[in-house]
């Protein structure tokens, strides 16, 4: 399909990644695993993940990823302060957002109405990240059905944050990443390894 060019030209200046936000749905667990593995053992920036799944499955996903990765992977709990070297997965049936201040961010869980027929949904997470961190945040949308993440990506783009999506060829379903790309909100469209490498380059302060 037609992919729009990014709608805005970024404000120049170095990129920063204080927190990494990731959304995924259909085909997500293996994609998440590959993406997180690609960040490597030195990745210490907190990662927050919304994977569309029912409650018991998100706990199992966290367990599996924790075994596979050098980082500590947990199912998020309400009121938890963010810690470096940790990956937080939204528990099934709860939206996960960021509250507090950029210096002392805290995870909030809520059972507000479904968003895009989903709970957890990617949009509330991305929106809260944009509000708290402005441009110093990175949002990644991996394989998935529907368009959850598109409106959240728009909130990130509006504050000059970095948004990247998985490419069509490597996605099981190019619904979610495709919706972001087609809305002109994806600055980078890459296979999973390329996404991991781009995140690492941003974390190292490289110009992209």
pLDDT for residue 9: 67
pLDDT in tens, 58-82: 999 999 999 999 999 999 999 999 9
Per-residue pLDDT of 127-172, as tens digits, reads 999 999 999 999 999 999 999 999 999 999 999 999 999 999 999 9
Q: Where are the domains of the chain?
A: 19-203
Instruction: With a cut of 80, say whether residue 10 has pLDDT above it.
Output: no
Task: Give the span between the Cα atoms of 23 and 49, in whole angstroms.
Answer: 6
pLDDT tier at 43, thresholds 50, 70, 90: very high
Indicate whether this model's pTM tops 0.85: yes
Catalytic residues: 25, 52, 148
Question: What is the predicted pLDDT for the residue at 1?
Answer: 59
Structure confidence at residue 4 as a pLDDT band (50, 70, 90): confident
The CATH homologous superfamily for domain 19-203 is: Methylesterase CheB, C-terminal domain (3.40.50.180)
């Amino acid at each position: 399909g037609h992919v729009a060019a990014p709608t805005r030209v970024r404000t120049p200046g170095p990129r920063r990644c204080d927190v990494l936000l990731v959304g995924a749905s259909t085909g997500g667990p293996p994609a998440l695993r590959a993406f997180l593995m690609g960040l490597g053992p030195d990745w210490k920036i907190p990662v927050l993940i919304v994977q569309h799944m029912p409650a018991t499955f998100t706990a199992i996903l966290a367990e599996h990823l924790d075994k596979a990765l050098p980082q500590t992977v947990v199912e998020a709990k309400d009121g938890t302060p963010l810690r470096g070297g940790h990956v937080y997965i939204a528990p099934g049936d709860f939206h996960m957002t960021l509250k507090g201040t950029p210096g002392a961010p805290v995870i909030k869980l809520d059972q507000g109405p479904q968003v895009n027929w989903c709970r957890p949904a990617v949009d509330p997470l991305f929106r809260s990240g944009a509000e708290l961190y402005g441009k110093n945040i990175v949002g990644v949308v991996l394989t998935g059905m529907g368009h959850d993440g598109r409106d959240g990506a728009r909130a990130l783009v509006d504050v000059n944050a970095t948004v990247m999506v998985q490419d069509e060829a490597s996605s099981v379903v190019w619904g979610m990443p495709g919706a972001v790309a087609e809305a002109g909100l994806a600055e980078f469209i890459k296979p999973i390894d390329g996404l991991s490498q781009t995140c690492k380059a941003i974390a190292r302060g490289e110009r992209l």
